[in-house]
Structure 1
Amino acid sequence: KNGEPHFLWTSFDIYSRFLASYWLNILLMVITKLLFPEPRPHFIQTCNPDPLKLTCSSAKSSYQLYKDGICRLNQSNDGSYFTQRDVLDSLRSFPSGHAQNGAFTMFIALHFVNRNNGLTSIQKIIFSLFWICNGLLMAISRITDNRHHWWDVLAGSIMGGLYSYFAIKYFLYQ
């Protein structure tokens, strides 16, 4: 019973450090998405560019299509409606935020599972497989639902892995 307050305080401290590093991970992802706007696989369908306004100079980048007002908002060939927010979101494919957060959480969880001495070897394997499958399924689902290109998912996963390494090494146990 004498160790309970210390255990609770240590748990709260590690949890708050994890949350802070997780939000830093998200902040870095948002900054990267804003600095490197890359179209999602469905950008042309969402933008629905006006062919009469389309020129070779306006087609240099997807962002230029949006900026020059060539995207036709609120009308689509298949009857669906897209807003300005939808078009802007379709320019934020790189890196995959879901893959980045999935990899970040997966590696942090794997670290905690392997560090826990109260678990048996079988329990560690089961928990590790759960987090690995969770991270992989999250990344693969981004490609299969046509929200990201494979390189966006790969870059997001690498960035999430790197951020988790730095969070574990420099932030969680200081």
Structure 2
Amino acid sequence: MDVFCGKIMDKVKLVWSKTNRWHRAFLLLFLVELRIFPSGQIGFTCKDPALSHPFTGDTVSWKLLLATCILLPLVIILIVERKYNVDKSVNPKQLALFWYREHLFGVLVNLVTVQVLKSIVGSPRPHFFDTCSPKEALTCQDSEYVDSYTCTKAHWLSQSDRSFPSGHTSLAIHTGFLLAYYLQRRISPRSSGVVSAQVVLLLTAVYCGVSRITDHRHHWWDVVAGVVLAAPILVYTVLYSCSNFECPVANVDKEQSDGLILNNTETVEARTT
């Protein structure tokens, strides 16, 4: 039996050694979404007004948010590097793709962290009674606390208890603030148009978070948690992964790494292992 277990572990280690950070992050996200691991569940107080809002949809949908977080940075970074990169020894496209790639990995880490926390905490959304319709709510009295419940609306079984933290807010803050800071670092001198673009990016990110409260999709503390969660991931992405948006090398060679062209330098290699 010990020999068999040892062989299994050797195979697992071999497969793991052939994966990279992208594979591992996607695997964790996949496992969380399948709810393979035990998840938490915070109960509710009978007739709690904070959980009694009707579901009215999203001002900013998931599709729109993800499309913005994935496509907008690529367009902006490619345009800026092509127009404003003054270091002729560095290929603007390669540099842009490197930074874009690191942004995408930051988004992935952000998303995985949010989904893990949602699963662990299991916090009811403001429209909990409307979309979950727990059968226990029909018999509970006054301010009675119900610590375990079962939703009766199948479509919302895996969503009504995923309020904390706000994924919309976390991803919007990550992308909006990263792009605003990127423009600050890469365009000099900045024109009034660039400053206006930075303001729009920041205000749009904030608006996305505020809309989650006004749409009654999250409590205010969920949105604050989304901001707090985004901050360290954003700082790590900008200062470490993207080297504070400074050209890392004088000469750039083409090399395939994780499916994208990267700079062939010790600095880049250290950040992609």
Q: Tell whether the structures are fold-level matches, with TM greater than 0.5.
A: yes
Of structures 1 and 2, the larger Rg is shown by: 2
Q: CA deviation at 1:29?
A: 1.0
User: Could you tell me how far apart the structure 2 residues matched to 1:103 and 1:127 are?
Assistant: 15
Q: Which runs of 5+ in 1 are unaligned?
A: 74-82
Q: Secondary structure at the match of 1:160?
A: helix
Q: 1:163 to 1:141 in 2, by over 3 A?
A: same
Q: CA deviation at 1:92?
A: 0.2
Q: 1:122 to 1:19 in 2, by over 3 A?
A: same
User: Could you tell me how far apart the structure 2 residues matched to 1:52 and 1:161 are?
Assistant: 38
Q: Secondary structure at the match of 2:158?
A: helix
Q: 1:98 to 1:119 in 2, by over 3 A?
A: farther
Are residue 7 (structure 1) and residue 128 (structure 2) matched?
no
Letter in 1 for 2:114: M
Q: Tell me the TM-score normalised to structure 2 length.
A: 0.52
Q: Secondary structure at the match of 2:91?
A: helix
CA contact (8 A) 2:135 2:152 kept: yes
Query: Deviation above 2 Å: which 4+ runs of structure 1?
Result: 2-5, 49-56, 58-61, 117-121
Q: CA deviation at 1:52?
A: 8.5
User: Could you tell me how far apart the structure 2 residues matched to 1:135 and 1:100 are?
Assistant: 9
Structure with the larger helix share: 1
Structure with the larger strand share: 2
Q: CA deviation at 1:45?
A: 1.6
User: Could you tell me how far apart the structure 1 residues matched to 2:93 and 2:191 are?
Assistant: 26
User: Could you tell me how far apart the structure 1 residues matched to 2:211 and 2:89 are?
Assistant: 41
Q: CA deviation at 1:96?
A: 0.4
Q: State the partner residue of 1:21.
A: 106
Letter in 1 for 2:121: F
- Alpha-carbon RMSD across the aligned residues, in angstroms, is 2.4
User: Could you tell me how far apart the structure 1 residues matched to 2:182 and 2:97 are?
Assistant: 15
User: Could you tell me how far apart the structure 1 residues matched to 2:218 and 2:209 are?
Assistant: 10
Q: Which runs of 5+ in 2 are unaligned?
A: 1-86, 244-270
Q: Secondary structure at the match of 2:172?
A: helix
CA contact (8 A) 2:133 2:152 kept: yes
Q: State the partner residue of 1:80.
A: none
Query: Counterparts of 1:1-174 in structure 2 under 5 Å?
Result: 3=88, 6-50=91-135, 54=139, 59-61=145-147, 64-66=148-150, 71-73=151-153, 83=154, 85-173=155-243, 174=271
User: Could you tell me how far apart the structure 1 residues matched to 2:179 and 2:122 are?
Assistant: 30
Q: Tell me the TM-score normalised to structure 1 length.
A: 0.79
Identity across the alignment (%): 26
CA contact (8 A) 1:59 1:65 kept: no
